[in-house]
């Protein structure tokens, strides 16, 4: 019998989400809630304005990648940090170069390549942005016990790293 025939047995229903991973079901709406609150509250834009900057979010991402790195980075490394394609990172770096916030330096290990590093002005801009964000989060967590704050940082970092690693296994858009 084909599925179109009236007497054919119906395929079994897949398990309901609460049957397969009940401990994870509550996380999905919380992640959505957090992302919506941050976006609706325009947290990144508020931090940028509070820092006295007129940069868009992707440009800020480049500066943050450089600020949190312990060394100058190749464009590909910046793109990886931001989880974007190389040409997108290149455009952002070029715009930041024009503003004097980053510069290219020679790669000591490969004379054909260049590295990107923040200028003093770029580092100062990134520091002001980070200070604004950290202040906002510190105010949000002020009533949390230190152990809870430490647990949040540890678990959120682990979760972000594991999700990023797992998603990196998927083929890029357009790949087979």
Q: 46-131: which CATH architecture? A: Orthogonal Bundle (1.10)
Q: Is pLDDT larger for residue 11 or for residue 138?
A: 138
- Could you tell me the CA-to-CA distances from 53 to 47, 87, 92, 110, 150 in Å, in that order? 9, 24, 15, 34, 30
Tracing tokens 């009236």 back to the chain, one arrives at: 6
Q: How far apart are CA 82 and CA 164, in angstroms?
A: 11
pLDDT of 117-170, one tens digit each? 999 999 999 999 999 999 999 999 999 999 999 999 999 999 989 988 888 888
List the chain domain ranges. Answer: 46-131
Three-state SS string across 137-157, please?
HHHHHCCCCHHHHHHHHHHHH
pLDDT at 102 over 60: yes
CA distance 137 to 27: 20
Partners of 106 in the β-ladder = 114
Query: pLDDT (tens digit, 9 = 90+) per residue, 75-93?
Result: 999 998 888 888 889 999 9
Evaluated on CA atoms 102, 104, 109, 112, the torsion sign reads positive
DSSP letters along 38-54, please?
Answer: HHHTTHHHHHHHHTT--
Half-sphere exposure (Cβ direction) of 2: Cα atoms closer than 13 Å: 1
Both structure tokens of 5: 């025939």
Predicted TM-score (pTM) of the model is 0.72
């Amino acid at each position: 019998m084909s599925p179109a025939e009236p007497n054919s047995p119906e395929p079994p229903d897949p398990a309901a989400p609460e049957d397969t991973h009940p401990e994870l079901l509550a996380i999905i709406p919380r992640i959505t809630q957090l992302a919506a609150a941050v976006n609706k509250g325009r947290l990144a834009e508020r931090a940028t304005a509070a820092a006295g900057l007129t940069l868009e979010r992707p440009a800020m991402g480049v500066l943050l990648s450089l600020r949190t790195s312990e060394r100058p980075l190749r464009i590909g490394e910046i793109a990886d940090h931001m989880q974007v394609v190389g040409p997108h990172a290149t455009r952002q770096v070029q715009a930041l170069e024009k503003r004097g916030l980053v510069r290219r330096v020679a790669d000591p290990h490969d004379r054909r390549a260049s590295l990107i590093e923040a200028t003093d002005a770029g580092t100062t801009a990134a520091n002001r942005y980070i200070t604004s964000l950290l202040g906002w989060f510190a105010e949000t967590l002020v009533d949390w016990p230190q152990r809870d704050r430490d647990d949040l940082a540890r678990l959120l970092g682990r979760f972000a790293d594991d999700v990023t690693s797992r998603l990196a296994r998927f083929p890029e858009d357009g790949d087979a």
